A and B are shown apart, each in its own frame.
Chain A
Amino acid sequence: DVKVTQSSRYLVKRTGEKVFLECVQDMDHENMFWYRQDPGLGLRLIYFSYDVKMKEKGDIPEGYSVSREKKERFSLILESASTNQTSMYLCASRLGPGGPSYEQYFGPGTRLTVT
């Protein structure tokens, strides 16, 4: 079974702090994604990475950056956390394009509160 893990289920940070959210997948997937989920807005893509050291902006990249130094790990960084970044953050991974499976595998999510 594919497993996607996220470093924390719940996180509380103060405004202005630098925040790291870690995601690890164990199936050698090429593609990895970070979403945020807010009531009434569904899932919105922040950043994605289609290979090591490659990254692409999603729909709402402002205020975030990412890092993918190893294939299994994709980190989301909030450079200076703000209250409007309070949200549920979901990481996902997928085999690369052309692979046998198009589905994304999700981690359990990190509920981040910025006070």
Chain B
Amino acid sequence: SQQGEEDPQALSIQEGENATMNCSYKTSINNLQWYRQNSGRGLVHLILIRSNEREKHSGRLRVTLDTSKKSSSLLITASRAADTASYFCATDGLNYNQGGKLIFGQGTELSVKP
């Protein structure tokens, strides 16, 4: 079963607005990562937050992590039409021997209208 559950499944906003996506997971993690996928393409890594971090920023991206609630959120500020894509959270478990295996959520489809 999928570790990550993302919410909402789809989000439509106007350019300039902020977009917030949420991710919940079930088991203890080493870190949580967010990826972006443009239509029909491979995934691109956006940002990683470790289990001992609460918030991280990268450009217009802000990620929070609440390990007590097993949840994370991705905020994209001042969105642009080019941000239109699917966004996935992925959890990296604690098992060293699993070779970096990630468990992906089902994704949030973001549409930013010009």
Q: Is A61 part of the contact surface with B, judged by Cβ < 8 Å?
A: no
Question: Which chain A positions have C-beta within 8 A of B101?
Answer: 33, 45, 48, 58
The A interface, classified by DSSP as helix, strand, loop or mixed, is strand
Interface bracket on A:
20 to 34
Chain A-chain B contacts (Cβ-Cβ < 8 Å), number:
72
Known: A97-B99, A108-B41. 13 other contacts (CB 8 A): A4-B42, A41-B2, A42-B88, A42-B105, A42-B106, A45-B101, A49-B99, A56-B99, A90-B43, A92-B42, A97-B100, A102-B33, A103-B33
CB-based nearest A residue for B106: A42
Give chain A's interface residues, CB within 8 Å of chain B.
4, 30-31, 33, 35, 40-45, 48-50, 56, 58, 88, 90, 92, 94-97, 102-109, 111
* Complex CA–CA separation, A44 to B102 (angstroms): 10
Question: Which chain B positions have C-beta within 8 A of A94?
Answer: 100
